[in-house]
A = this chain, B = another copy of it.
Amino acid sequence: MNSLSLSIIGFGNVGRGVAEVLYTKMPHFKKKYGINIKVVSITDTSATIWDQEAINLREAIETKNHFGSLKFWGNEYEVYKLDPMEVVKEIDADVIIDVTNDKNASKWHLEALKRGKGVVTSNKPPVVFDYKELVDLANSKNLPYLFEATVMAGTPIINLLKEEILADSVKRISGVFNGTTTFILTSIETGMTFKEALKQAQTAGIAERDPSNDLKGIDAAYKATILHHLAFYPIDFKEVHIEGIENLSEEEIREAKKEGTPFRLVATVEEGKVEIKPKKVYENGPLAVSGTSNVAVIETDLLGELMLKGSGAGIKETASGVVGDIIRAAVSIYKYL
């Protein structure tokens, strides 16, 4: 059985989640899909560990968990100073897995594709800002460029739009794509102040230390833009209308809830139009999600309304999307091996 070799770039929560799923479920994947996958390098902000034979993922996860950094990888192994671009250029791998949040990662993706490597990513900015260039290059070289985990974690909204409902023309997608704002809004609804709600979200690991991307609607706008690229055509992020939840007052939020139409940060995607805006939604309607649930309501000419709801965050849930794409890449590349 041929092996598909991976370079993992980024070893935070998502990277470790991906390694954990690969480690735990590899025997299952071998049996079910007839593929074999090995990780030949992992890069965190401190170092790159590299073993062309295959890295022991269990040991890599434990090193990171116990020592906080891959540079403490055991004595018998080599630790390298390679940064992500050097990894792409110097390490022999079939597919690059970008699970960082690096805004300038497009250049790694482009370099990888130029060198005949596939790309799987959970990192939004490259897909938002350089979609056409990346996808065109990947298509011209018959390489996978996959990004299921960028929207709704592993809930398969991306591949549903790409591979399913092929006879339908999408008219509109409405959705709630940011769990942090939902969490904060629902906490305020039950009586907390904005500050308390934010703090609770941060303590629970839902909001980041700098929560502005979530609160200002940027994160939701990234996701909605990616859906527009897919459902219609690549749109310029500058054209996206973005309004976050930071200007809602606590009173407004509680009042709306009392009236049975709580606020949610709603994304609307139509041909040529992407809008992020706090909107009052019906309490029993599809958009009134809670917790870190995300939902997409897809309206098409034939199916009418199609609703996909699932986790929009979480380590295992995001790993589901990344590893699903790795399997998809393996199956497609195997045809040519």
Task: Give me the interface of A with B, judged by CB distance under 8 Å.
Answer: 21, 25, 28-29, 33, 153-156, 159-160, 163-169, 284, 286, 300-311, 314, 316-317, 319-321, 323-324, 326-328
For A155, the chain B residues whose CB sits under 8 A away are 303, 306
With A164-B324, A167-B323 given, name 7 new contacts (CB 8 A): A29-B167, A159-B163, A166-B323, A167-B320, A303-B310, A303-B320, A306-B310
Determine which of B169, B303, B314 lies in contact with A154 in the assembled complex, contact meaning CB atoms within 8 Å: B303
Q: Which of A21, A284, A302, A319 lies at the interface centre, i.e. has the most chain B CB atoms within 10 A of its CB?
A: A302
Tell me whether A307 and B304 are in contact (CB under 8 A).
no
The chain B residue sitting closest to A24, CB to CB, is B301
Number of copies: 2
Report the minimal beta-carbon distance from A169 to chain B, rounded to whole angstroms.
Answer: 7
Report the minimal beta-carbon distance from A330 to chain B, rounded to whole angstroms.
Answer: 10
Report the minimal beta-carbon distance from A300 to chain B, rounded to whole angstroms.
Answer: 8
For A307, the chain B residues whose CB sits under 8 A away are 307-310
The chain B residue sitting closest to A328, CB to CB, is B166
23 residue pairs bridging A and B, Cβ less than 8 Å apart: A33-B166, A153-B303, A154-B167, A154-B302, A154-B303, A155-B303, A156-B160, A160-B164, A164-B324, A166-B323, A166-B324, A166-B327, A166-B328, A167-B324, A300-B320, A301-B316, A302-B316, A304-B310, A306-B311, A307-B310, A308-B308, A308-B309, A309-B309
Q: How far is the CA of A165 from the CA of B164 in the complex (A)?
A: 13
